[in-house]
Amino acid sequence: MVDQYEVIVVGGGLVGATVACGLANKGISVALLNKENPPRILPQSDHDLRVSALTQGSVNIMKGLGAWPEIVRRGVSPYRDMRVYDGAGNGCLHFDNTETHFQELGFIVENRVMVAGLWDLFESSDCGEVICADPVVAIAPHSLGRQLTLQSGRCIKAALVIAADGQHSSMRSQMGIGVRGWPYHQQGLVTTVSTTKDHQRTAWQRFLEQGPLAFLPLRNGQSSIVWTLGTARAKEYRDCSEVDFLAALTAASGGLLGEITGVATRAAFPLTFQHANSYTAEAFALVGDAAHTMHPLAGQGANAGLLDAAAIIELLVQAKERRRPLGSAHVLRRYERWRKGDNLVMMTTMDLLKRMYGVNDQPVVQLRSWGMNMINQSIVLKKMFNQYAMGLRSGLPKLAVK
Ligand SMILES: Cc1cc2nc3c(=O)[nH]c(=O)nc-3n(C[C@H](O)[C@H](O)[C@H](O)COP(=O)(O)OP(=O)(O)OC[C@H]3O[C@@H](n4cnc5c(N)ncnc54)[C@H](O)[C@@H]3O)c2cc1C
C-alpha cells in the first residue's frame, strides 16, 4: 500500500474531485479521501435536490479536465436566458446569449452528476488513489510536508494537504484555522417541481420579502427551485402537506411558470456567510466551501470553489514544472493572494444584494426597481453584468478561460 503522495485532497465533492483530477491529469500523485464512495450509476427517474448553475468559466474548467463529456452523458440542462424580477416593485432584468459568442449562458447540473463524472475520470488515472470511509484522526507536520493518520491506523504523507471537506470542514478545525461570518437566519428550500408553463430554458428568479425564489430549468421539463425563506417559514414549507406547498409556491412565483402541479422531496439548508481567516497554513490549503460559504442568491458558491480548484491546479503544475516544492510557502501565498480577495468581493456582493432586497420600504423598492430597469436598458452595463455572471471576467485561472 502506498503511503506517500505529492498531494492529499480531503473531501471529494465537486471542488475536491476537480482538484484531484486536475493534478492527476498532469502526473502529480494524489490521494483523494472522502467520507464515502459516491454513486456512479444514477437513477434517471429522479433528480438530485442539489443542483448548481454552472457558469461558462466552470464549464471551461470541466472541459479542460476532460470531465465534461462524461458529465454531459449523464445529463445537463443548458439555459439561454435569465429573467430576474423584483416581487415588490416593477424592476426587471433580462439577460440572454445575444451579447456573447456562446449558445447558452450556462448549464444546470445536478451536483451528483458532476461528482460522478469527476470520480470516474480520477479513477481512470494512473496517478490517483481513492480512500473512502477512513476518516482523518490526526494531521501533523512531517519532513515531507504533512502526515495524516487515518482511523484505520494507516499513515499517509504528502508535500501538501488540500482540504475540500465543505462548510463544516473538520480539517480546517484540526489545523486551528478560524472563520468569520454570521448566520442569515434563513434556509434555502430546495426541491424539483412540475409547472403548467414551459420553462423555456430560462433561469427565473423573483425577489420576495423573505428572500429570492429561483426556478432553474431541468432537462426533463421540470424545474429545480431554491426558495430562500426565514428559518421558521422554511421548516413550515418543508414539512407541510403537498397541497399546501403547491398553493404557497404558485402564489410566491407570481405565475411566472403558471401553476405548480407537482413536487418531489423537499430539503432545506441553513444559509451563512462564512470566510476562513486564512486559506493556507504550512503545507496546507483550503478550497471551496471549506474556505468560503456565501448566500446562494446568484448561484455562485460552487463556481467560486471551482475557480479555487483551477487556481491551485495551475500553481501546483507550474511549481512541479519548475521543480519547486509543491507545499512551499511561496506557492501557497500566491494561491491565497489570488483567490481570497476575489472570493471576498463575490461574497460581499451577494451579501449586499441580500440586504438590499430584504428592505420593503417603498422609496427603497422604487429606487432598486429603477436601478434594475436602468441596467436592463444599458447595453454596456448589461454586458458587464452578463460577463461577470457567466464567469468570464479577467484574472481567471487558465483552465477557466477557453
Ligand atoms: C440551497 C443552496 C443552493 C445552491 N445553489 C448553487 C448554485 O446554483 N450554483 C453554485 O455555484 N453554488 C450553489 N450553491 C453552493 C454549492 O452547493 C457549494 O458551494 C458547493 O457544493 C461546495 O462544494 P465543495 O466541494 O466545496 O463542498 P461539498 O459539496 O460540501 O463537498 C464536501 C465533500 O467533502 C466530504 N467530506 C466532508 N467531511 C469529510 C471528512 N471529514 N473527511 C473526508 N471527506 C469529507 C463530503 O462527503 C463531500 O463529498 C448552493 C448552496 C445551497 C445551500
Instruction: Evaluate the CA torsion angle 131, 19, 325, 282 in order and state its sign.
Output: negative
**pLDDT band of 378, cuts 50, 70, 90:** confident
**What is the overall mean pLDDT for the chain?**
94
Sorting pLDDT into bands at 50, 70 and 90, what band is 107?
A: very high
Instruction: With a cut of 90, say whether residue 8 has pLDDT above it.
Output: yes
d(CA 234, CA 212): 13
Task: Give 103 Cα–ligand 1 centroid separation in angstroms.
Answer: 28
Which percentage of the chain shows pLDDT scores above 90?
A: 81
Residue 342 reports pLDDT greater than 80: yes
Using alpha carbons, select from 91, 49, 62, 97 the residue that is nearest to residue 306: 62
Task: Report, as an integer, the average pLDDT of 240-262.
Answer: 97
The pLDDT of residue 121 is: 96
The atom number, within ligand 1, closest to the CA of 135 reads 42
What are the cell numbers at 372? 434594475
Residue 307 has pLDDT above 80, yes or no: yes
- What pLDDT, on a 0 to 100 scale, did the predictor assign at position 41? 84
Q: How far is CA 351 from CA 38, 203, 237, 295, 357, in A?
A: 32, 21, 24, 7, 10
Atom of ligand 1 nearest to the CA of 289: 26
Percent of the chain with pLDDT over 70: 100
Q: Which atom of ligand 1 has the smallest separation from the CA of 216?
A: 8
Say how many Å lie between the CA of residue 120 and the centre of ligand 1: 19
Q: Assign 168 a pLDDT band (cuts: 50, 70, 90).
A: very high
Nearest by Cα to 309 from 286, 332, 284 = 286
- Average pLDDT of the residues in 123-138: 96
Please report the atom of ligand 1 found closest to the CA of residue 11.
34
Predicted TM-score (pTM) of the model is 0.96
Name the band, by pLDDT with cuts 50, 70 and 90, for residue 45.
confident
* Ligand 1 atom with the shortest distance to the CA of 290: 26
How many CB atoms neighbour CB 290 within 10 A? Answer: 31
Measured by CA distance, the residue closest to atom 18 of ligand 1 is: 302
Average pLDDT over residues 210-222: 95
Q: Candidates 15, 40, 271, 306: which one to mutate for ligand 1, based on the most atoms within 8 Å of Cβ?
A: 15
Is the alpha carbon torsion for 366, 186, 184, 108 positive or negative? negative
> How confident is the model at residue 293, as a pLDDT?
98
For residues 298-313, average pLDDT: 96
Q: Ligand 1, atom 39: nearest CA belongs to which residue?
A: 165
How far, in Å, from the CA of 50 to the mean position of ligand 1? 9
Element housing 260 (H / E): strand 260-263
CATH architecture, domain 4-80+106-180+272-360: 3-Layer(bba) Sandwich (3.50)
Q: Is 267 helix (H, G, I), strand (E, B) or coil?
A: strand
Segment (H or E) for 399: none
Rounded CA gap, 28 and 26, in Å? 6
Minimum mean pLDDT among 171-175, 352-356, 364-368, 385-389: which range?
Answer: 385-389
Domain boundaries, the chain: 4-80+106-180+272-360
Residues with CB under 6 Å of ligand 1 are 10-16, 33-35, 50, 52-53, 111, 135, 164-166, 170, 188, 190, 226, 269, 288-289, 296, 299-303, 305
- Mean per-residue pLDDT, 162-191: 98
Q: Which atom of ligand 1 is nearest to the CA of 38?
A: 49
Rounded CA-CA distance 79/57 in Å is 15
Mean pLDDT for 270-288 is 98
30-34 vs 128-132, strand pairing mode: parallel
Ligand 1 closest atom vs CA 171: 41
pLDDT at position 215 over 90: yes
Which of 388, 393, 375, 303 is CA-nearest to residue 94?
375
Which atom in ligand 1 lies closest to the alpha carbon of residue 164?
Answer: 26
Whether pLDDT at 402 is above 80:
no
Distance CA 61, CA 120 (A): 16
Q: Atom 4 (ligand 1): residue with closest C-alpha?
A: 296
CA 38 to centroid of ligand 1, rounded, Å: 13
- Lowest-pLDDT range of 15-19, 95-99, 114-118: 95-99
216 has pLDDT over 80: yes
Q: What pLDDT shows up at residue 319?
A: 97
In terms of Cβ atoms closer than 10 Å to its own Cβ (0-12, 13-18, 19+), residue 123 is middle
pLDDT of res. 96: 86
pLDDT value at residue 345: 94
What was the pLDDT predicted at 389? 76
Q: Cα of 293 to ligand 1 centre, how many Å?
A: 9
Q: What is the mean pLDDT of residues 256-273?
A: 97
Residue 326: which of 310, 308, 313, 342 has the closest Cα?
A: 313
**Predicted pLDDT of residue 196:** 98
- From 8, 9, 14, the mutation candidate for ligand 1 (largest count of ligand atoms within 8 A of CB) is 14
79 pLDDT above the threshold of 90: yes
Residue 194 banded pLDDT, cuts 50, 70, 90: very high
Distance 13 CA to ligand 1 centre (A): 6
Kindly indicate the confidence band of residue 46, based on its pLDDT and cuts at 50, 70 and 90. confident
Residues 48-68, mean pLDDT to the nearest whole number? 95
Neighbours of 366 (CB within 10 A): 15
Residue in this structure with the C-alpha cell 478561460, named with its chain if needed: 401
Alpha carbon distances (Å) from 209 to 94, 203, 212, 238, 272: 21, 20, 8, 18, 18
CB 54 within 8 A of CB 305: no
Tell me what pLDDT residue 31 has: 98
Q: How far is the CA of 313 from the centre of ligand 1 (A)?
A: 19
